[in-house]
Structure 1
Amino acid sequence: MPAVMTAYVRFVDALNYRIGRFMMYGIFIMLGVLLWSSISKTFFYPSLWTLEAAQFAMVSYYILGGPYSMQLGSHVRMDLFYGNWSDRKKAWIDAFTIFFLIFFLGVLLYGAWDSTSYSLKYGERSPSAWRPYMWPIKVVMCIGFLLMLLQAISELFKDIARIRGEAL
């Protein structure tokens, strides 16, 4: 494989590995927010911010953890025929189908970028009682979609290497 492709795969995999390992601890943020929600509803006046803060934490958790999940191969896969195929045939099928994912992620990133720019331009706020600004979570979504797109391209390069009988 060309050195540029190898360097790209190593860089993207290392980046998404570190971000994914960091985001694994995001569950504790959600746990803390939801625990505070339960305590405040029981003993104090209910907090207005807890539901949306937990939703924002959850979105960050799975959007930024998605590329790491793809890297580990722990995403959902229809395994009716796939499990019986050779590694080379799997690589061919994966290399073909990843183009659909790359197109889909490109469309998502375009829409997220457009939505984020709108949110920043007009100071968009949530329609809830808490009314937080929406741009921070939209920026997280743009970063997550970009990282997932980069990881999908990395997986394509790995599939090409497997088709050629090389290891990355």
Structure 2
Amino acid sequence: MIASSTIDAVTTLVGRYVAWLILLAIIISTVNAIIRKLFDRSSNAWLEGQWVLFGAVFLLCASWTLWSNEHIRIDIVNSRFSKRVRDWIDVFGHAIFLLPLTIIMSYHSWPFFTRSYAINEQSLNAGGLPQWPSKFLVFAGFVVLFFQAISELIKRVAIMRGEIIDPHAGGGGHQAAAEAEAQRLLEVAEAEAAALAAAKK
């Protein structure tokens, strides 16, 4: 569990810092739009910079999203199963699908990056950015996701053995927030209906 906690700490640190790149992408997009409108000038480097920043967030924050249990699930199906079955689905999914995917993608994305770096591959667009940093992000993202998948597998097995408490057992994430909001709206509607019925009497 020490290894899992260390991976979680690194994943959280990376995710929280990298997520701020979205703000930087928004600022670049805004400044670029203002300059284009006011001075009729633009730059492919600015446009591509936005794409690279978004790619960095998407790839490097995927493991943080996994740690937070925020990845999309088919809740209408998943909620019908017992906790034990859901745990087994997670173990099976991580071991059979997620881990092999991260290994394959890491294996193939490394030469994808090194070939680009060796020739200092540049954008095909005039004034664009070098291509190898964005290709390195693919490799880095799947490596980080690999380690987080290992951590999640360790924790899920420990939960099934009763060694730790499931941190997501009480609900959490967007699904729980949506359910809570739906319940609140239902209660408001019922209260208004009751008030309207009482007024008619």
TM-score of the superposed pair, with normalisation by structure 1: 0.91
Please name the residue that 1:19 is paired with. 14
Q: How does 1:4-153 map to 2 (within 5 A)?
A: 6-44=1-39, 45-99=41-95, 100-153=97-150
CA distance in 1, matches of 2:124, 2:156: 44
Please name the residue that 2:154 is paired with. 157
Report sequence identity in percent. Answer: 27
Is 1:167 matched up with 2:168? no
Q: Deviations over 1:110-163 (max 9, x none)?
A: 121010111111221121112321111222221111000100111111111122
Secondary structure (helix, strand or coil) at the match of 1:49 reads: helix
Kindly provide the amino acid, as one letter, of the partner of residue 69 in structure 2. G
CA distance in 1, matches of 2:69, 2:126: 40
Kindly provide the amino acid, as one letter, of the partner of residue 116 in structure 1. F
Secondary structure (helix, strand or coil) at the match of 1:80 reads: helix
CA distance in 2, matches of 1:116, 1:155: 28
CA distance in 2, matches of 1:106, 1:56: 23
List, as ranges, runs of 4+ consecutive aligned residues in structure 1 with deviation greater than 3 Å. none
Structure possessing the higher relative contact order (Cα contacts under 8 Å, 6 or more residues apart): 1
How many matched pairs? Answer: 163
Kindly provide the amino acid, as one letter, of the partner of residue 121 in structure 2. E
Q: Deviations over 1:81-137 (max 9, x none)?
A: 211323222111110111211111111111210101111112211211123211112
CA distance in 2, matches of 1:88, 1:134: 46
Q: CA deviation at 1:166?
A: 1.6
Identify if the C-alpha distance between structure 1 residues 15 and 72 changes in structure 2 by more than 3 Å, giving closer, same or farther. same
RMSD over equivalenced CA pairs, Å: 1.3
Contact 2:48 2:128 in 1 (8 A): no
Secondary structure (helix, strand or coil) at the match of 1:123 reads: coil
Q: Which one is further off, 79-88 or 117-126?
A: 79-88
Please name the residue that 2:171 is paired with. none
TM-score of the superposed pair, with normalisation by structure 2: 0.77
CA distance in 2, matches of 1:66, 1:159: 18
Kindly provide the amino acid, as one letter, of the partner of residue 122 in structure 1. I
Instruction: Look at both structures and tell me which one has the larger radius of gyration over its CA atoms.
Output: 2
Gaps spanning 5+ residues in structure 2: where? 166-201
CA distance in 2, matches of 1:57, 1:66: 14
